[in-house]
Amino acid sequence: MNDSAACLSSPFDLSDQPTYLAWRERKLAEAPRQTTDLVVEVEDMAHLTGAEHAALLQRVRRCNMAIYQERRAAAGRDGKAAVQALGRALGLERLDANVLADEDGITPLAVHREGNRARYIPYTERPIAWHTDGYYNTTPGRAVRGIVLHCVSPAAAGGANRLMDHEILYIRLRDENPAHIATLMRSDAMTIPGNAEEGLERAATPGPVFFLDPAGNLSMRYTARARNVEWSEDPGVRAAAAAIRRLLNGPDELILEHRLQPGQGLVANNVLHTREPFTDDPASPRLLYRARFHDRIAGT
């Protein structure tokens, strides 16, 4: 994942403190303090108006994420097709067709009591710790940079998401110790061991935690899981990983929480997020559609 960008001036260059401080001031001033600041009402997610599109981009530019709220959905509409249409409108074209997704590349997130999906936490009622999507993917050009998470039916109780802009975490870490950033950009900072279970063959994937795409935008790959993650033995990397855990688990006014309702969805440049445990109702099961993309939301 050597997507480093050649930039004359970048807030992510540790040697360019003036540019960083100017970006930091603007970023913190614009950061939303409440989830309602993220919400944009749309008539039909599959057919955004110019004003709706602009409102979503305005929020994503501020904090790498937005929440849309449909006023109404067309009767009998194909929800997965609507997710793809929304993605295209935002410049999200290249779906990450991971092995547990459906053939169209979109994953229906629902509770599975048996089968292959039942072994993985997203398909259970259990909580999911802080992570970015696709953290096991370090192939150049294949990193997950954009996501859409659309709620068809929420859980009977629970299931809220905590959300944090990865650029805010970058600021917290750099302000504490710039060495944290340098070590987290090492190509061997975090390794996800290989997986060879029932057709899910995947080699071990070492890579950085923070990295830049060719345009100079900051991306992040991270999971707070204690198991199936190998951190570099370098003391600096270990200290930086401990700082991430402390910051994510501590109080921060810029960590938001939201429980998606029917017709709502999250669009984001793969920000950090969690999922709280929930109680499913078999008579009205929880269902969300998740789409992961190798693109960043265009214009952000």
pLDDT digits 0-9 by tens, 269-293: 999 999 999 999 999 999 999 999 9
pLDDT, mean of residues 138-167: 94
CATH code, 223: 3.60.130.10
295 in a domain, yes or no? no
pLDDT at 74 over 80: no
Whether 113 and 245 map to the same domain: the answer is yes
Which has more confidence, 114 or 188? 188
125 in a domain, yes or no? yes
pLDDT confidence of residue 197: 59
Whether 281 and 168 map to the same domain: the answer is yes
47 in a domain, yes or no? yes
Question: Looking at the chain, how many residues does it have?
Answer: 300
- Band of the pLDDT at 199, cuts 50, 70, 90? low
First to last CA, the chain: 21
pLDDT confidence of residue 252: 97
Question: Domain span at residue 119?
Answer: 107-141+163-262+271-285
151 in a domain, yes or no? no
Whether 119 and 43 map to the same domain: the answer is no
Question: How many folded domains does the chain comprise?
Answer: 2
Token representation of residue 19? 């540019």
Q: What is the pLDDT of residues 239-276, one digit of tens each?
A: 999 999 999 999 999 999 999 999 999 999 999 999 99
Whether 69 and 217 map to the same domain: the answer is no
Average pLDDT score over the chain = 92
136 in a domain, yes or no? yes
Whether 47 and 115 map to the same domain: the answer is no
pLDDT at 5 over 50: no
Distances (CA, A) of 250 to 2, 162, 224, 240: 31, 12, 14, 15
* DSSP code for 132: -
pTM of the model: 0.94
- Band of the pLDDT at 117, cuts 50, 70, 90? confident
pLDDT at 98 over 90: no
- Band of the pLDDT at 300, cuts 50, 70, 90? very high
21 in a domain, yes or no? no
pLDDT at 56 over 70: yes
pLDDT confidence of residue 1: 54
- Band of the pLDDT at 144, cuts 50, 70, 90? very high
Helix (H) or strand (E) segment spanning residue 180: helix 178-184
pLDDT, mean of residues 222-241: 95
Which has more confidence, 195 or 71? 71
Whether 170 and 40 map to the same domain: the answer is no
pLDDT, mean of residues 133-142: 85
**Is-contact 10 19, C-beta < 8 A?**
yes
| Positive or negative torsion for Cα 243, 244, 250, 252 | positive
Question: What is the C-alpha to C-alpha distance for residues 267 and 260, in angstroms, rounded to an integer?
Answer: 12
pLDDT confidence of residue 200: 57
